[in-house]
Amino acid sequence: MAAARRLRHDLHRRPETAWAERETAATVREILDTAQIDWRRCADTGTVATLAPQAGGRHVALRADLDALPIAEQTGLAHASQIEGTMHACGHDGHTATLIAVAHWLGAHRDALPGPVTLLFQPAEEGGHGAARMIEDGCLDAPAGSPHARAVDVIFGWHNWPALPQGLALCPDGPVMAANGTFRVELHGRGGHASQPEATRDPVLAAAAVTVALQQVVARRVAPQVPAVLAVTSLEAVSAATVTPEQAALAGSIRVPDLAVRDEVFAAIRQIATDTAAAHGVHAEVTTAARYAATVNHRGPAAELRAALSSVVGAGWADHAVGAPVMASEDFSYYLQQIPGAFALIGGGPEPPARAAALHSSRYDFNDALIDPAARVLIELTGAPPPPAPDIETG
């Protein structure tokens, strides 16, 4: 895994955000060329590589995401980001390095593959709907130029999860990660002098009231058995200390287990924000935006992924403390809406996990110790010969 770790650190030093992953894509493609693995461009900065396209068994796809986040890194590490204001704060550098390690092994053993294997190096997972664009561009279709090749039958993916200690994982049947969406409430009032509140219609007060009132959505509009999160994450009301402004705004995100609950929560946000604003003499304009659907595992592939985890990590891998679905979201959901597949969260944090920097934190760094076991799990799912200890990359 030494080469994969070096690659991971190199990718970490030069992160690229969604739809700008040009150097990252070039690096992936160069490595595939060196390994004599055929690939094609997909969704601009994405790459689709297929091995053994004529093999008779089922066609398995494995996915890694490429993009970083607009966050200023504060780790102080030797391999810290060299791009100001951008960092790999979600571990996609590690996911990419892991799939490259898998590519090396499968490339060296392509003649032993029971069926085709497609490797998806996907851009723009972080809110850019990159999976949808990859699907639109045919990433799950039969490889062109292979007359007897078939479309992808099943897909597997994973995400590092620092909130779980290393050696544990989460891979349920059904939902593993939540659906999400965002909302924005703009409040239009009447500005004026702070000494004459009766002459104004204060949008700042209304924004505060709406923020508090929205907390009843989860507490009173959603059944307690349904996992849901509503978070107001920003407030805007630029003004001087003695001036009531003309407008204010608030925004936030929601996490829900399915699209039906998302629709209910969005409707409640619109009603509560509009009515609360009206009670303060202020007009509210509410906009909502759906982002990703829930990531829902298919029963058969999820059982396969759990078996691979047991084989590689050990029988005690299953975490029973973290409930599913977790409230983060993933655009891997797009693939699972198209074909059978499964997704796992693989723990990479210390014990206790509370000591770990969270995903999307400026102090987060991917745990390199995950590359080897995650790669072995993915290789096992393809039916390829298992790598011997200690190093997959020895071939």
Query: Can you spell out the DSSP letters for 181-203?
Result: EEEEEEEE-B-EETT-GGG-B-H
Q: Identity (one letter) of the amino acid at 242?
A: T
- Catalytic residue, chosen from 93, 125, 186, 372, is 125
**3-class state of residue 369 by DSSP:** helix
| In contact, 213 and 270? CB cutoff 8 Å | no
Q: Quick check: is 67 catalytic?
A: yes
Residues in CB range of 211: below 8 A, 6 or more apart: 232, 235, 250
**Tokens (6 digits) for 393:** 């990359």
Sign, CA torsion 129/130/135/137: positive
Tokens 């190093």 -> residue: 391
User: Among all chains, which residue has been given the structure tokens 């897909």?
Assistant: 155
- 67, 319, 330, 372: the active-site residue: 67
Q: Are strands 169-170 and 341-349 parallel, antiparallel or unpaired?
A: antiparallel
Give CA 284 to chain center in angstroms.
32
User: How far is 61 from 49, CA to CA, in rounded Å?
Assistant: 10
Axis crossing angle, helix 2-13 with helix 22-34, rounded to the nearest 10: 160
Which residues are the active-site residues?
Answer: 67, 125
